[in-house]
Structure 1
Amino acid sequence: MSFAIVRMQKFKAVDVKGMQIHNYREKESHTNPDIDKDRTQLNYDLLNDSRIDFKQAIQSEIDERYTGNKAIRKDAVMLCEFVVTSDKDFFDRLDPDEEKRFFQESFSFLQDRYGKENILYGIVHKDEKTPHMHVGMVPITDDGKLSAYSFFGKKTELQQLQDKFHEHVTEKGFSLERGVSSDRKHITTQRLKAMTVKEEIQSLDKELESKKKELLDLSEALPQKHIDIKVRKEIKTEVVQKIFGKSEVIKKETGNVVLTPEQLKELTGYVNAALAVKEDYERLQKMDLVKENESLRIAGEYLTEENIELQKENSNLTKEVRTLNTEISSLKDHIKDLKTNIRVLYEQTKKVFRDQFKTFRGIVKNELDMKGVDNQFEREHKKEIKKQRGVER
Structure 2
Amino acid sequence: MSFAIIRMQKFKAPDVKGMQIHNYREKESRTNPDIDEGRTQLNYDLLNDSRIDFKQVIQSEIDERYTGNKVIRKDAVMLCEFVVTSDKDFFDRLDPDQEKRFFEESLSFLRERYGKENILYGIIHKDEKTPHMHVGMIPITTDGRLAAKQFFGKRTELQQLQDKFHEHVMEKGFSLERGVSSDRKHITTQRLKAMTVKEEIKKLEQEKTEIDSRLNDLKESLDKVKSVDGIEVKERGGLMRPKTVEVGLEDFEDIRLLARASETLRDENKSLKIKNEKLQRDKDAVSLERELLKSENSDLKKDKEELQKENDFLKRTLEKVKEFYKEKIPEFAIVAGYIKASILDKAKEKLLKKYFDKDEIEGAQKFVAKKQKQMEKEKLEKQQTRSRDRGMER
TM-score by length of 1: 0.65
Distance 1:71 1:13 in 2: 14
Match of residue 181 from structure 1: 181
Distance 1:14 1:111 in 2: 25
Describe how 1:68-107 pairs up with structure 2 within 5 A. 68-107=68-107
Worse-matched range after superposition: 38-47 or 10-19: 38-47
Shift in Å, 1:14: 1.6
Distance 1:99 1:259 in 2: 48
One-letter code aligned to 2:289: E
Shift in Å, 1:25: 2.2
1:117 alignment partner, SS class: helix
Shift in Å, 1:164: 3.0
Distance 2:37 2:212 in 1: 41
Describe how 1:289-304 pairs up with structure 2 within 5 A. 289-304=286-301
Summarize the Cα distance change of 1:181–1:216 in structure 2 as closer, same or farther, 3 Å threshold: farther
Match of residue 365 from structure 2: none
Distance 1:300 1:7 in 2: 19
Describe how 1:354-365 pairs up with structure 2 within 5 A. none
Describe how 1:15-30 pairs up with structure 2 within 5 A. 15-30=15-30
Shift in Å, 1:291: 0.9
Match of residue 308 from structure 2: 311
Match of residue 221 from structure 1: 220
Deviation readout 1:53-99 (Å, 9 max, x if unpaired): 22233334344444555444333322211112233444344333222
1:124 alignment partner, SS class: strand
Summarize the Cα distance change of 1:331–1:65 in structure 2 as closer, same or farther, 3 Å threshold: farther
Distance 1:154 1:200 in 2: 37
Shift in Å, 1:15: 0.9
Distance 1:175 1:265 in 2: 46
Computed over aligned residues only, the root mean square deviation of the Cα atoms, in angstroms, reads 3.7
1:165 alignment partner, SS class: helix
Unaligned runs of 5+ in 2: 228-248, 331-394
1:284 to 277, 281, 286: 281
Distance 1:227 1:65 in 2: 87
Worse-matched range after superposition: 133-142 or 161-170: 161-170
Contact 1:35 1:127 in 2 (8 A): yes
Distance 2:24 2:76 in 1: 24
| Number of corresponding residues | 308
Distance 1:215 1:126 in 2: 36
Contact 1:86 1:196 in 2 (8 A): no
Describe how 1:25-64 pairs up with structure 2 within 5 A. 25-64=25-64
1:31 alignment partner, SS class: coil
1:260 alignment partner, SS class: helix
Match of residue 359 from structure 1: none
1:130 alignment partner, SS class: coil
Shift in Å, 1:19: 0.5
2:220 alignment partner, SS class: coil
Summarize the Cα distance change of 1:269–1:42 in structure 2 as closer, same or farther, 3 Å threshold: closer
Distance 1:161 1:327 in 2: 43
One-letter code aligned to 1:7: R
Contact 2:2 2:177 in 1 (8 A): yes
Distance 1:68 1:184 in 2: 29
One-letter code aligned to 2:311: N
Distance 1:210 1:37 in 2: 32
1:135 alignment partner, SS class: strand
Percent identical: 65
